[in-house]
Amino acid sequence: MIDTPTVDWLALSPSVALLGASGVALLAAVIVPDWMRKSVAAGVVLIGFVLAAVLAGVVFDETPTPEVLLDGSMVRDRIAALTQVILAVTGAVVVLASWAERRRDNHGEYYALLAAAGAGMVFFVSADNLMTLFLGLEWFSLCLYILVALDTERATSLEAGLKYLIVGGFGSAVLLFGSAFVYGATGELGFAEIAAANPTDDVFLLAGLAMILAGLAFKVSAAPFHMWTPDVYQGAPTSVTAFMSAATKAAAMVVMLRVLVTAFPDQSEIWTIAVAVLVCISLAWGNLAALAQRDVKRLLAYSSISHAGFMLMAIAADSERGAEALLYYLVPYSAMSVGAFAVVAVRERELQRPVTLESLAGLGWERPFYGIAMWTFMLGMAGFPLTGGLFGKLFVFSAAYDSGDWWLVLIGVAATAVSLGYYLNVVRWMYMRAGGELRLAPAGGSPPTDPALGVAIGAAVLVTVGSFFAAQPILDAAADAAASLPF
Amino acid sequence: MDGPDIGWYLIVAALLFGIGALGVMMRRSPLIVLLSTEIMLNAANLTLIAFARQQGDLDGQIFALAVMAVAAAEVAIGLGLIVAMARRRIVLDVDQASALRG
Amino acid sequence: MSNVLVWIIWFLAAGGCLATGVAVVSVTNPFYSALALIGNLASLAVLYLLLAAEFLAAAQVLVYAGAVMVMFLFVVAYLGGRADAPWAGGPPLLRAAAVVAAAALLVEVVVVVGLAWGDNLQEPAEVSDSFGSPAEIGELFVTSHLLAFEITSIVLLVAAIGGVVLGTTPEKEEAE
Amino acid sequence: MLTTALILLPLIGALVVAVLPLPRTTTAGLAFLVALMEVGLWIVAASRFDFDEGGLQLGTSREWVESLGISYSVGFYGFSLWLTGAAAIVSAAAIGYAMWVGRDRPRAYHALMLFLTGAIVATFAAQDLLLFYVSFEAMLIPLYILVGVWGGARRQAATLTFVVYTMAGSLLMLASVVAFGVTQGTFSLLESGTSDNVWIFLGFAVAFAIKAPLFPFHGWLPLAYREAPVEVAAVLSAVVSKTAIYGFLRIGLPKFPEPADDLSGVILVLAAAGLVYGSLLAFRAPDLRGVVAFSSMAQMGLITLGIFAFDDLGLDGAVLQSVAHGLISASMFLLVGMVEHRCGTGELTSLGGMARGRPVLATVVIVAGMIALAVPGSATFAGEFLIMAGVYDQGWGYSVVVALGIVLAAMYTLRVISALLHVKPGSAVRDEALDLRPGELALVLPLLLVLLVLSAWPALISQSSFAGSGAAQSIVEAFR
């Protein structure tokens, strides 16, 4: 007789909600008549994401101390719940932003896969052993591979999908090989058990740690594991890019933090240095390469690499303060990044062609709302005041300084200085070049109104600015969440 | 245990992993690159199973079984992409596959 | 089974495994590459058997050699099995970097294994006969690894959707 | 509350102006009204301020980010209230000028100007290091657009150099803010103690030196002042540069007494060099804006000399001179704008003979010029004299340099006056170029009137900036 394990449905509920939404959307793609397919699918998935956010909030509320579930397969704690809220809200905004995406077909599948990817990420951040970690990673990655390639009529989309699949497959193979080594060294898969086994200076363990770190670095697109990022971000449908840049990064960052802190506390001297090296390379490469970009999606891709550097700086701090800083950083970063790609999507839909800096000319005056929104996002990413970007950088720098990494602070400051070059360049193109100069009148007369996208961008602006003024509540939640990790 | 030590299996797995990695990085045909990632995953599986034997613990085997399923899924999507690209008459070359340069 | 016989089988399997691996990544024609992978998978299955993983060996043959490789061969046949330049073009620097990276990875792993050999690889645990049997694996899959089982099925479902979505891509019209 | 109101009024005004779809003139008028209300509000604040009492007044403090010790904490000292007053008056004049010339895209323009005003006031009122950084940086956001969109032909190059320079400084300051805040455990200027870390001080000092700008950090100045819309240049040189002075007075000296003392020699030499170098450049500048711009740089060197004199006289003089220079440089820039508006150029070679038939213009220019060159009896003379006397203790050579600066100021001011008003009529001066209109006069005259009042009674500022403190040491201690 086999004892069936008890399942904590509340802990799984955000994932289940999204999976359910995904299933309904998929059915809709088949059953519902053509004309209302998109609205049904989008509506259901939007509800799914909102529901997941609410449920994750409930989990956060009801979980003062971490609980390990299902024989160590997953953990129910606040850091996971908080990240799930961020992921689910990001997903909901992306659903709004993708409403008016021009796509010939596959609407039901698009939303179903978006929800499935969301469900995967939501699960991924609560994974508590190497097996569920790997499976969660593959779960959302496979969804993303398809999503990236979904615009099958565009060659670049398919190419980007293939590239992402190959590089992602390579990355997960490295991660898997590392996991196998760690398993070999300790005989355990669970994070806490790995830490408890603690075979000091075991070469297998160290090699495994290095490979797990590298595998996750692929997903957070930290240099030098970023080579797929620009191509994939550029080729993917813009709303998918928005989702990847915000959600994938958030989920993978939090998981990296969790793995390093819970499974490898005794090796912290080694991995803090490794992460610090990633920080330096990401900041240098991301920022310098971004300076040379003309295509806005590529520019934002490199910018996201440099942001990965800032977030890793919080991980390198290896302290509760660092964890708080990372979780705070994710809030404005997700908003800014989704928002910026949404503005790119606006322009893309107007012009029916890829958005370069030149094609942003005059946007600020033609479309004041989108202009101000993009301005806000760019300033926020550069860490200017009145946006959460400033506090994100400040908290990260504080954590790094507090841990004695003052040199990382200086590198971060230098990187920020370089980043101004391209962020302000975007603003310059929007406001200081008249659109008429370049004869890029919107294709087909006045642009279509798109209230859903407006709402999405408005929400992103609200979070970007709101996280500046109301930093304390977010930081409180982040502190509660960080407390669930064993520092 | 009869026969070779676990270490020998690990050496084989490591060599296999390296061969696969080289294939991914050096080959241009997406089909062969996809096959190379399969080799990498299989190398990881061999490691997992070898360690499972070493530890006398079935977790490694379970992990390997899950990896097999995932690898199959990855292949399915990869092949789907390749077929879709062929139908769209896109040159199948991962290095040259690129309007995405610059 | 006598010790010598096991060694011989091991040598054959390991050698076959490495040789076919090299073949997969080095032949020009994807068709032969896929065939080589079948050989690779089969020899791996033998190694699994030696490691007391009977169920996995069976799964390896069924899932991989059976399902995945058939899929591969279909696609190769569909694409016409064109020959392909054996090694990547691209900037020489990049090629050199790839070789160096792969070599570094290999050396690292081999060194690690070598270092660990003396410590803890000598004495594998004693295992019962039912180790790796379908029953034990099945039980674990519905108890402590229930989630892994569920996720695996989700992943396969996603792949099915992906296959459908991507497979129904319309042919490019010649006019375009 | 009053301080918060002073900060919020222009910000809310900016929002209203940006959002309401009013016609051009109404928009500009609304903005001007808000700016005037700001001046009125400042007068109320000044009347409630007890100048004899000293210390922080009209303060408000609210928790913001408790876990890091960041608070919204504002209030005024004597000197910062005076700087704020100058800022309010200059902003009003600048917005009035913009209304008069009718800038394009008035909603955006005036919203940005009001936002800038709010940021400047917030900088002067900030009693929390992070709030200071936030407002210091926030000034840059509108300035970038204001110069980049409404500026002259080379506006893009101007914004680029301006932003590169100031951000380099600001980011160094951010590193210092982090380091100081984390070591102190709080960012509040009221609660934190002092630090003896030279590197942290240097981060602040360089940021302030660039903002001022002090020699040799003035690379952005010529382009920015030349290419900015003239009233923006007025705000830049008159008040934005004074935020650096506030930074030195509120953070540089009180929080880093030892490093400031250690490095005072270097800073004094650089300030003196800047004074002389700026004056010489002003003397050689070929156009009106160049003269005003470089004289502004020279004046900032002078004020810095006063600050790093580390004594009563020098500090009092520095504040008096900051206010006086703010007003005079704003009026000069506005006058330059009015001349350029008439003649289409500011090249001195193509100007001349404007005194004939334009009595009001001539009178106003001469009065402003007299104050600028610090004739005895003027507020600027009082300020410069105080600084000269104050810096004597640091070395008589500095006093000599200050005196030299006064002489050079007389030379370049007289050169401008004669090139503009006298000589023979320049090629760009046509007969249609009329005398000052009442509207223009109404903008410049109040500035000059305030200056005349200060000239008659310089003690109004110099005696009340650091009330209740005897010597430099006690000023430093008063902030601890």
Domains of chain B: 7-87 (1.10.287.3510)
pLDDT digits (tens, 9 = 90+) for A24-37: 988 887 888 878 88
pLDDT higher than 50, residue A459: yes
Under the banding of pLDDT at 50, 70 and 90, the label for residue A87 is: very high
One domain, residues C4 and C80:
yes
pLDDT higher than 80, residue C103: no
* Residue in C88, C171, C172 nearest the CB of B28: C88
Under the banding of pLDDT at 50, 70 and 90, the label for residue A447 is: low
Place of tokens 């799930």: A84
pLDDT at A438: 44
pLDDT at D85: 93
pLDDT digits (tens, 9 = 90+) for A427-443: 888 888 765 544 445 44
Neighbours of chain D (3+ CB pairs under 8 A): A
Q: How many CB pairs under 8 A join A and B?
A: 125
Please report residues of C whose CB lies closer than 8 A to that of B12.
14, 17-18, 47
pLDDT at D113: 94
| Complex-level ipTM | 0.88
Q: State how far residue D105 is from chain A, nearest Cα, in angstroms.
A: 9
Distance CA B33, CA C25 (A): 8
C104 has a chain A CB within 8 A of its CB? no
DSSP letter at C74 equals H
pLDDT digits (tens, 9 = 90+) for D402-459: 889 888 988 899 888 888 888 777 777 777 777 888 888 888 888 899 998 988 888 7
pLDDT higher than 90, residue C59: no
Per-residue pLDDT averaged across C114-140, rounded? 68
> Within chain A, what is the greatest distance between any pair of CA atoms?
78
B80 has a chain C CB within 8 A of its CB? yes
pLDDT at A331: 94
pLDDT at D458: 82
pLDDT at B2: 64
pLDDT higher than 50, residue D362: yes
Per-residue pLDDT averaged across D104-125, rounded? 93
Per-residue pLDDT averaged across D325-340, rounded? 91
pLDDT higher than 50, residue D60: yes
Among positive and negative, which fits the CA dihedral A37, A40, A43, A49?
negative
**Beta bridge mates, A374:** none
Chains C and D touch (3+ CB pairs under 8 A): no
Cβ–Cβ gap C63/B49 under 8 Å: no
Distance CA D114, CA D15 (A): 9
pLDDT higher than 80, residue A403: yes
Lowest pLDDT segment from A150-154, A177-181, D290-294, D332-336: A150-154
pLDDT digits (tens, 9 = 90+) for A2-49: 677 777 888 889 999 999 999 998 888 788 887 888 888 889 999 999
Q: Which three-class secondary structure state does DSSP give residue D64?
A: strand
Please report residues of B whose CB lies closer than 8 A to that of A134.
63, 66-67, 70
Q: State how far residue B47 is from chain C, nearest Cα, in angstroms.
A: 10
Among positive and negative, which fits the CA dihedral D171, D173, D174, D176?
positive
pLDDT higher than 90, residue A91: yes
Phi, psi of D455 (to 5 degrees): -65, -40
In a domain, C166, yes or no: yes
- Which domain range does residue C166 map to? 128-170
Distance CA A413, CA D207 (A): 13
Phi, psi of A184 (to 5 degrees): -65, -35
Please report residues of C whose CB lies closer than 8 A to that of A204.
112, 116
CA atoms within 13 A on the CB side of D190: 21
Mean pLDDT estimate for chain D: 87
In a domain, C175, yes or no: no
CB D332 within 8 A of CB D405: no
Token readout for C108 is 């690292």
Q: Which residues contact C70 (CB under 8 A, 6 or more apart)?
A: none
Please report residues of B whose CB lies closer than 8 A to that of A231.
98, 100
Q: Which residues contact D12 (CB under 8 A, 6 or more apart)?
A: none
pLDDT at A341: 93
C93 has a chain A CB within 8 A of its CB? no
One domain, residues C30 and C75:
yes
pLDDT higher than 70, residue C93: no
% of chain C exceeding 70 in pLDDT = 66
pLDDT higher than 80, residue A104: no
Please report residues of A whose CB lies closer than 8 A to that of D175.
397, 409-410, 413
Q: Which residues contact C12 (CB under 8 A, 6 or more apart)?
A: C43, C46
pLDDT higher than 60, residue A247: yes
pLDDT at A201: 66
pLDDT at D151: 85
Question: C122 versus D263: which is more confidently predicted?
Answer: D263
Please state the domain extents for chain A: 9-482
pLDDT in tens, chain B (102 residues): 566 778 888 888 888 888 888 888 877 788 888 889 989 999 999 999 988 888 888 888 889 989 998 998 998 898 888 888 877 766 655 555 444 444
Under the banding of pLDDT at 50, 70 and 90, the label for residue C131 is: confident
Per-residue pLDDT averaged across D272-283, rounded? 92
pLDDT at C112: 66
In a domain, C56, yes or no: yes
Calculate the CA dihedral of residues A209, A210, A215, A219 and round it to 10 degrees. 100
Per-residue pLDDT averaged across A67-87, rounded? 88
Distance CA C147, CA C140 (A): 11
Cβ–Cβ gap B20/A173 under 8 Å: yes
One domain, residues C80 and C4:
yes
Question: A172 versus B6: which is more confidently predicted?
Answer: A172
Per-residue pLDDT averaged across D376-394, rounded? 86
Under the banding of pLDDT at 50, 70 and 90, the label for residue A448 is: low
pLDDT at B55: 81
Under the banding of pLDDT at 50, 70 and 90, the label for residue C94 is: low
pLDDT at A439: 47
pLDDT digits (tens, 9 = 90+) for D267-276: 999 999 999 9
Give, in order, the Cα–Cα distances in Å from C165 to each of A109, A152, B34, C71.
Answer: 8, 9, 19, 17
B21 has a chain C CB within 8 A of its CB? yes
Total residues found in chain B within this entry: 102
Under the banding of pLDDT at 50, 70 and 90, the label for residue A252 is: very high
CB atoms within 10 A of CB D441: 17
pLDDT at D112: 94
Lowest pLDDT segment from A70-84, C96-110, D136-150: C96-110
Under the banding of pLDDT at 50, 70 and 90, the label for residue A242 is: very high
Alpha helix (H) ranges present in D185-311?
198-211, 221-227, 230-235, 241-247, 253-255, 257-284, 288-307
CB atoms within 10 A of CB A377: 29
Alpha helix (H) ranges present in A203-361?
203-219, 229-235, 238-243, 249-258, 268-291, 296-316, 320-351
CATH code of residue C49 = 1.20.120.1200
Lowest pLDDT segment from A141-145, A305-309, C85-89: C85-89
Token readout for D219 is 């690379």
Please report residues of B whose CB lies closer than 8 A to that of A153.
88
Q: Which residues contact D280 (CB under 8 A, 6 or more apart)?
A: D408
Token readout for C142 is 């519905």
Chains B and D touch (3+ CB pairs under 8 A): no
pLDDT digits (tens, 9 = 90+) for A319-343: 999 999 999 999 999 999 999 999 9
Per-residue pLDDT averaged across C38-46, rounded? 88
Question: Which of these, D164, D228, D219, lies nearest to A423 by C-alpha position?
Answer: D164
Q: Which residues of A touch C (CB under 8 A)?
A: 2-5, 7, 19, 26, 70-74, 106, 109, 112-113, 116, 120, 123, 131-132, 135-136, 138-139, 142-143, 145-146, 149-150, 152, 181, 202-204, 207
Distance CA D170, CA A385 (A): 12
Please report residues of D whose CB lies closer than 8 A to that of A410.
175
**Beta bridge mates, D287:** D347
DSSP letter at D349 equals G
pLDDT at D327: 93
Lowest pLDDT segment from A380-384, B2-6, D128-132: B2-6
Question: A319 versus C30: which is more confidently predicted?
Answer: A319
A465 has a chain D CB within 8 A of its CB? no
Token readout for A317 is 């701090």
pLDDT digits (tens, 9 = 90+) for A190-202: 888 888 887 766 7
- The CA-CA-CA angle for residues C62, C68, C74, to 5°, reads 125
C112 has a chain A CB within 8 A of its CB? yes
CB D93 within 8 A of CB D245: no
* Residue in B19, B61, B77 nearest the CB of C53: B61
pLDDT higher than 60, residue D477: no
